[in-house]
Amino acid sequence: MQIKLVSDYQYVGGVWVHVAYLAKALGTKGASVKIITNANPNVNTAELNDARKYDQTFYNSLAAAIETVHAAKDSVSLEHMLMDCELLHLHATFSFRDLVSCCGRVARNLKLPYIVTLHTMQSYRNVRDIIAERELVETLENSKKIIAVSDGVKSSIEKLGIDTEHIEVIPNGVDSNVFRPLDKISCRKELGLQTKGNIVLYVGRLVYEKGADLLVELTKKSKELDFVILGYGEFAKYLQSNNVTLLHYLPRTKMPLIYSAADVLILPSRTEGMPLVILEALACGTPVVASSIPGNNEIVDCSVGRLSGHSITSFYKKIYEVLSENKDLSLSKAARNKAKKYSWTTIADKTMQIYQNAKR
What is the residue-level pLDDT of the chain in tens, covering all 360 positions?
889 888 876 656 788 888 888 988 998 888 888 888 766 444 444 544 544 444 454 445 454 555 655 544 556 667 877 778 889 999 887 665 666 777 888 888 889 999 999 998 765 454 445 544 677 788 888 999 999 999 999 998 898 888 999 999 999 999 999 999 999 999 999 999 999 999 999 999 999 999 999 999 999 988 889 999 999 889 999 998 889 999 988 888 899 999 999 999 999 999 899 999 999 999 999 999 999 999 999 999 999 999 999 999 999 999 999 999 999 999 999 999 999 999 999 999 999 999 999 887
β-bridge mates for residue 266, sequence order: 289
In whole angstroms, what is the distance from residue 121 CA to residue 125 CA? 11
- Coil/strand/helix, residue 38: strand
In whole angstroms, what is the distance from residue 342 CA to residue 349 CA? 12
Q: What is the pLDDT of residue 76?
A: 66
Quote the DSSP letter at residue 189.
H
Domains and CATH numbers, the chain: 2-173+343-359 (3.40.50.2000), 184-342 (3.40.50.2000)
Burial 299-308 (b: 16+ CB within 10 A, else e): bbeeebbbbb
In whole angstroms, what is the distance from residue 336 CA to residue 179 CA? 10
Q: What is the pLDDT of residue 241?
A: 85
Secondary structure element (H or E) that encloses residue 160, with its range:
none
In whole angstroms, what is the distance from residue 333 CA to residue 327 CA? 12
Longest dimension (CA), the chain: 61
Tallying the residues shown for the chain, one arrives at 360
In whole angstroms, what is the distance from residue 58 CA to residue 252 CA? 7
Q: How many CA atoms lie within 13 A of 347 on its CB side?
A: 25
Q: What is the pLDDT of residue 223?
A: 85
Q: What is the pLDDT of residue 9?
A: 62
What single string gives the DSSP state of each residue in 57-94?
A: TTTGGGGGGEEEES-TT-HHHHHHHHTT-SEEEEEEES
In whole angstroms, what is the distance from residue 299 CA to residue 337 CA? 12
Q: What is the pLDDT of residue 274?
A: 92
Burial 134-143 (b: 16+ CB within 10 A, else e): eebbebbeeb
Secondary structure element (H or E) that encloses residue 33, with its range:
strand 32-38
In whole angstroms, what is the distance from residue 45 CA to residue 177 CA? 32
Q: What is the pLDDT of residue 124?
A: 44
From the list 339, 294, 253, 347, the residue with the least C-alpha distance to 18 is 347
